[in-house]
């Protein structure tokens, strides 16, 4: 994700290195916040708060953990705090659908419904299940990285993922039968 030399330079007070480091991770930080909070404004607020915290706490990062895991823990904790302070509302954002020339319009519409239904199903999961699903399937974290990020035992992460997949399968059963809920 980020060069260790850049991290070390930022830790020693090199302001340019710190700014470069923050620019390299800002998209990842925002994306994680958005996947967890499912609200653009809340995600922007959480990402900004996370970047400020990383800026002020960079000297506390120790190389025994991966940098991306350390960053992920900060972002996740901020999102959890935000989520607990205010119950999330489901916003339906209108997105322009871009139809590809090589895809049929029907397939594009169906994939739009599927993406929407998957997002809604993930939003219905309990917070601890949603967190592990976001980190595993949307951020492509390994089980160990998830355990480190959320400060959970590895077996708990596996259990949460197993249960989350069962819940998602139940919530998305219309697609398994060939239907659309939208």
Rounded mean pLDDT of the chain? Answer: 79
Given the candidates 1.10.1740.10, 3.40.50.720, 3.40.50.10420, 1.20.1530.20, the CATH classification of the domain at 1-86 is 1.10.1740.10
Q: What pLDDT does residue 47 have?
A: 94
Indicate the pTM of the whole model: 0.58
Q: Worst-scoring range by mean pLDDT, 9-23, 92-106, 127-141?
A: 92-106
Task: Name the CATH topology of 92-181.
Answer: Arc Repressor Mutant, subunit A (1.10.10)
Q: What value does the mean pLDDT take over residues 161-167?
A: 91
Local structure of residue 134 (DSSP, 8 states): I
Separation between Cα atoms, residue 27 and residue 133, nearest integer Å: 19
Per-domain residue ranges of the chain: 1-86, 92-181
- Phi and psi at 110, nearest 5°, equal -65, -40
Separation between Cα atoms, residue 39 and residue 86, nearest integer Å: 12
Separation between Cα atoms, residue 114 and residue 140, nearest integer Å: 20
Q: What value does the mean pLDDT take over residues 143-170?
A: 90
């Amino acid at each position: 994700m980020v060069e260790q030399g850049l991290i070390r330079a930022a830790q020693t007070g090199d302001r340019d290195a710190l700014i470069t480091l923050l620019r390299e991770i800002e998209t990842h930080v925002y994306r994680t916040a958005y996947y967890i909070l499912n609200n653009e404004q809340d995600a922007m607020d959480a990402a900004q708060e996370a970047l400020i915290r990383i800026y002020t706490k960079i000297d506390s990062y120790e190389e025994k953990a991966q940098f991306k895991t350390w960053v992920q823990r900060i972002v996740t904790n901020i999102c959890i705090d935000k989520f607990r302070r205010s119950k999330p509302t489901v916003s339906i954002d209108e997105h322009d659908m871009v139809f590809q020339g090589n895809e049929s319009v029907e397939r594009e519409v169906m994939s739009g419904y599927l993406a929407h239904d998957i997002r809604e199903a993930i939003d219905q999961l309990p917070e601890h299940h949603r967190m592990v699903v976001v980190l595993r399937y949307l951020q492509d974290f390994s089980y160990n990285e998830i355990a480190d990020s959320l400060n959970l035992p590895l077996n708990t992460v596996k259990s949460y993922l197993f249960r989350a997949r069962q819940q998602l399968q139940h919530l998305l059963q219309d697609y398994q039968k060939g239907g659309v809920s939208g």
